[in-house]
Amino acid sequence: MRYFIELSYLGTAYHGWQRQNNAATVQDCLEVGLSTILRCKTAVTGCGRTDAGVHAKQFFLHFDHEGVENTEKLAFALNGILPLDISIHGIRALANEAHARFDASARSYEYWIHQKKNPFLNGVSHYFRLDLDLAAMNEAAELLLSTKEFGAFCKVGSDNKTMFCDVSEARWEQKEDQLIFHITADRFLRNMVRALVGTLMSVGQGITSLSKFQEIINSQNRSEAGLSAPAQGLYLVKIKYPYINE
């Protein structure tokens, strides 16, 4: 039987979601935890992968097991042995064909920037002291809604078969001393959100004009775009599935 786990994690201590040799990852923690409690080697498949230092407010994974008697007890037991920076919110049984990665119809990210020094945001938001023109960044972000190919914002050497993404939301908002970028799409390329944020911040500083931003999009060349924003400000915040969210 296939089970979905909903969880969240603070990514500061991890080299991302995906299992790696000689590096602590969130996937490793979940597989060790499940294998310990279920008393059999248990592999998990995540809804995607996050880079080192990136956080997730909502993340889903699936695993297969012949039968979990009580999913609430399993969730309680997992929370008891997992590190404090990983939290299990629920476990549910689904059809055997359900897939945490391939069945996701939309993913949403936020990027957090704070512009006044705040020790309580250290490591969970990007501290940037220079002025940023929010209106200009929103004008540039609106161009992403009509963009189909995002090769200019994809990490060089990635193994993506296509650069096409359908972005349904791209906007900045200000909350007191914080700026938050919201973006939703059916899929994301590797490093795409951080590359977009870094380039949009260049627009906000007046370094990159709106017309230049469009040229960068059209170029499909990563070297034309800005530097990637630091990992600590990025959050995966929502995954949409037709059989969970609706």
Instruction: Please identify every residue annotated as catalytic.
Output: 51
What is the distance between the alpha carbons of residues 89 and 74, in angstroms, rounded to a whole number? 11
What is the distance between the alpha carbons of residues 107 and 59, in angstroms, rounded to a whole number? 10
**H/E/C letters for each residue in the chain?**
CEEEEEEEECHHHCCCCCCECCECCHHHHHHHHHHHHHCCCCCCEECCCCCCCCEEEEEEEEEECCCCCCHHHHHHHHHHHCCCCEEEEEEEEECCCCCCCCCCCEEEEEEEEECCCCHHHECCEEECCCCCCHHHHHHHHHHHHHCCECHHHCCCCCCCCCCECCEEEEEEEEECCEEEEEEEECCCCCCHHHHHHHHHHHHHCCCCCHHHHHHHHHHCCHHHCCCCCCHHHEEEEEEECCCCCC
| Angular region, 39: left φ>0, alpha ψ -120 to 50, beta rest | left
Pair 225, 183: CB distance under 8 Å: no
Structure-block tokens of residue 225? 């775009």
